[in-house]
Amino acid sequence: MNAPTEPRHYRALFLSDIHLGTRGCQAGMLLDFLRLHDAETVYLVGDIVDGWRLRKNWHWPQEHNDVVQKLLRKARKGARVVYVPGNHDEFLREYVGTHFGGVEVMDSCLHETAGGEKYLVIHGDQFDVVVRHARWLAYFGDWAYVTALNVNTVVNGIRRKLGFPYWSLSAWAKLKVKNAVNFIGRFEETLADEARRRGVSGVICGHIHHAADQETNGIHYINTGDWVESCTAIAERHDGTFELIRWADMCRTGVPLQIAHHQAVA
């Protein structure tokens, strides 16, 4: 499927793991996406701003500002914008229950579809045993991940010069590593269990940078993915059905937008 050239309107949009403030953030791709996608409700499902790393090396180019402006503008123009913080922007958890610039901050929330189905919207780190019980390991994993992303940037710089399309090292590595697959499977099951415990039909989360729209143990498990590698989002159409948008893939299949970006970034 090709990327659209006309703006699309949805009932709801779900985005997570944008990691503004880091080099890995694909802000340019996200800006194109936000230009072409609007919704009545926009859920920011955590790790939007990366507070862990903002403390050490600040990386905040104009494009990151533009993403924030674009989201606030959607709120100003009448969209309901809900921010559900994650572990990388947990500093916002202190502001749960408040509003800023028209954005509501909530710890987790329920989304009701056009068809009346209820979905738990939560980042998901609350159910990640590593983040909860071994913070040092989470920080180390974070460092390893960033290193992999940096290698990815270099590899793709070379591939681009040679005329090859974008290729994701860490996405590939994650899928190859058996432990990572087990980790993903466990995470999905835990989140599905939580949705069942709360008596809802599905869950919409992020955190593990692995987009999904599937049934897990009788629960509709949806993961929004991320904007550092795969550039994915979840949208609810006006008829209440969901769509997983793989923006990087859509741009790769013959749309000039992404080419323009990659040249600008290089």
- Rule CB under 5 A: is residue 258 a binding residue for Mn ion? no
Least distance in Å: CB of 12 to Mn ion?
Answer: 21
- Rule CB under 5 A: is residue 32 a binding residue for Mn ion? no
* CA-CA-CA-CA torsion sign (239, 244, 248, 254): negative
Closest to Mn ion by CB, 50 vs 63, is: 50
As given in the structure block, the two tokens for residue 252 are 């790769």
Least distance in Å: CB of 229 to Mn ion?
Answer: 14
**Which one among 22, 87, 230, 232 touches Mn ion, defined by CB under 5 A?**
87
- Rule CB under 5 A: is residue 86 a binding residue for Mn ion? yes
- Binding segment for Mn ion (CB under 5 A), chosen from 29-37, 112-120, 122-130, 242-250, is 122-130
Closest to Mn ion by CB, 212 vs 255, is: 212
* CA-CA-CA-CA torsion sign (231, 125, 47, 21): negative
Binding mask 37-56 for Mn ion (x = CB under 5 A): ----------x---------
Considering only residues 174-213, where is the footprint of Mn ion by CB under 5 A? Answer: 207
Least distance in Å: CB of 102 to Mn ion?
Answer: 24
**Which one among 125, 188, 229, 236 touches Mn ion, defined by CB under 5 A?**
125
Provide the binding-site residues for Mn ion, judged by CB under 5 A: 47, 86-87, 125, 207
